[in-house]
Amino acid sequence: MTQPFLPFTRPSIDEATIAAVADVLRSGWITSGPKVQAFEAALSAHCGGRPVRAFNSGTATLEVALRLAGVGPGDEVITTPLTWVATANVILEVGAKPVLVDVDPVTRNIDLSRIEAAITPATKAIIPVDLAGLPVDRDALYAIANRHKLRVVEDAAQSFGASWNGKLIGTIGDFVSFSFHANKNFTTSEGGALVLPADIDPALCERLRLQGVQRFPDGSMDVDVLGGKWNLTDIAAAIGLGQLPHVADFTARRRELARRYFSELPADRGLGLPLADFANSNWHMFQVTLPATAERGALIAAMKERGIGIGVHYPALHLFSLYRGLGFREGDFPVAERIGRQIVTLPLFPAMLDSDVSRVCAALAQVLPECI
């Protein structure tokens, strides 16, 4: 009997949430409204009472955070080359210059020991990325930022539900940007949220989110800043409200599955395993690196033939044509380049069975020697 296809991720959405979406559709109010307000209040409670504003994507939250931080033409922003390209694209969107720093080979996050060498008088901010849900060392990060008076925009797109030393990501720090894309641990189908620091006016964030419009009780309005069209819908917010109570359970299950991967992956096939952090990481993804001689495309195809989906997250972004055009070259960030060439994402989502992990590990053990 053919086994069903196992994707690398799949959202877990219960019937109560589906019913709540139907209620929104029947209500006649489907764009930003009472559900978005309720969702923002729930997110704020999750983040220790800090102001949170919802957006239609995690990319939008990053861009708005940079604008709120005063980043613009002539400024530099430090980030990692091993991330979804949106992290660097938003720096270009506000007219600033992305300055890339290579990654740590163990955590695969930005190498904090290299950041200070990249700081110049033009540096305005740092965007660290919690790759695969493993948080960047917040203590070391903010020590650097505070020492050089830099803003931090945490790209926590992958780390909702993760923590640093017992404190949930979002409860501490400067700007914190979350993504609720369909492949994230916690989803609104598409969407994101921005946690604001105390010195930022939430009303300004709201105006930037929706064309810079400020409305007055008499029906008049004004536009005092250049905003975008980045509001979340009540449909998406209803999904988020249904998902939020399950985040702790989702994270616990992901950790169980990750532990099983560590115990069952073949030890003699040259796979590079992620850092086994079960205190802080939310295990958004379980990523391994293949041996240098492995043909990744052949492995992905062979696993697909066996009904198993494998992802690639992410190629080193400075090797994309857009960034080569800005002067980046192969060899600039060798650790990120090596990982980007060899990394694959294995299936991991809360509805997976223990037997699914065993299936993936057995298939890898069989397929990998054929692809080297």
Are 31 and 135 in a shared domain? yes
β-sheet bridge partners, residue 345: 287, 311
In the 8-state DSSP scheme, what is residue 222? Answer: E
Are 264 and 126 in a shared domain? no
Give tens-digit pLDDT for 155-196.
Answer: 999 999 999 999 999 999 999 999 999 999 999 999 999 999
Look up the domain containing 104 and give its range: 15-245
Both ends of the chain: CA-CA distance in Å?
29
CATH number at residue 320: 3.90.1150.10
CA atoms 198, 202, 208, 212: torsion sign = negative
Nearest to 186 by CA among 215, 150, 157: 157
Last residue of a domain, one of 245, 268, 298: 245
Is position 124 annotated as part of the catalytic site? Answer: no
- Average pLDDT of the residues of the chain: 98
CA atoms 317, 319, 325, 326: torsion sign = positive
Cβ proximity of 368 and 267 under 8 Å = no
Side by side, the strands of the sheet bearing 192-195 are: 52-55, 192-195, 175-179, 151-155, 123-127, 76-79, 97-100
Q: Specify the DSSP element, H or E, that contains 248.
A: helix 247-264
Nearest to 6 by CA among 309, 353, 344, 349: 309
Q: Is 7 part of any domain?
A: no
Instruction: Spell out where the chain has E strands.
Output: 52-55, 76-79, 97-100, 123-127, 151-155, 163-164, 167-168, 175-179, 192-195, 213-215, 221-223, 286-289, 343-346
Are 35 and 144 in a shared domain? yes
Structure tokens given for 187: 């989803």
State how beta strands 221-223 and 213-215 pair: antiparallel
Give tens-digit pLDDT for 298-351.
Answer: 999 999 999 999 999 999 999 999 999 999 999 999 999 999 999 999 999 999
Nearest to 347 by CA among 262, 257, 278: 257
Give tens-digit pLDDT for 247-258.
Answer: 999 999 999 999
Give tens-digit pLDDT for 274-299.
Answer: 999 999 999 999 999 999 999 999 99
Are 294 and 162 in a shared domain? no
β-sheet bridge partners, residue 344: 288
Are 22 and 36 in a shared domain? yes
**Percent above pLDDT 70 for the chain:** 100
Last residue of a domain, one of 218, 245, 272: 245
Q: Is 5 part of any domain?
A: no
Q: Is 258 part of any domain?
A: yes
Are 232 and 261 in a shared domain? no
Q: Tell whether pTM > 0.85.
A: yes
Are 74 and 176 in a shared domain? yes
CATH number at residue 29: 3.40.640.10
Are 35 and 74 in a shared domain? yes
pLDDT at 268: 87
DSSP string, 98-156: EEE-PBPTTT-SB-GGGHHHH--TTEEEEE-B-GGG----HHHHHHHHHHTT-EEEEE-
Q: CB neighbours of 196 closer than 8 A, spacing ≥ 6?
A: 50, 51, 52, 53, 68, 175, 202, 205
DSSP three-state, residue 344: strand
Q: Is 356 part of any domain?
A: yes
pLDDT at 26: 98
Q: Is the pLDDT of residue 213 over 70?
A: yes
- Work out how many domains the chain is built from and give that number: 2
- Where residue 269 falls among pLDDT bands split at 50, 70, 90? confident
Q: Is 83 part of any domain?
A: yes
CA gap 92, 317 in Å, rounded: 13
Residue type at position 2:
T
Q: Is 9 part of any domain?
A: no
Are 203 and 348 in a shared domain? no
Q: Is the pLDDT of residue 1 over 70?
A: no
Q: Is the pLDDT of residue 267 over 90?
A: no
Q: Is 310 part of any domain?
A: yes
Q: Specify the DSSP element, H or E, that contains 237.
A: helix 234-243
**What Rg do the C-alpha atoms of the chain give, in angstroms?**
21
CA gap 356, 32 in Å, rounded: 39
pLDDT at 145: 98
Last residue of a domain, one of 245, 269, 297: 245
Are 223 and 276 in a shared domain? no
Are 24 and 166 in a shared domain? yes
Structure tokens given for 226: 């250049």
Are 70 and 102 in a shared domain? yes
Name the catalytic one among 97, 149, 184, 229.
Answer: 184
CA gap 133, 111 in Å, rounded: 16
Nearest to 57 by CA among 165, 212, 164, 209: 209
Mean pLDDT value across residues 263-267? 94
Q: Is 280 part of any domain?
A: yes
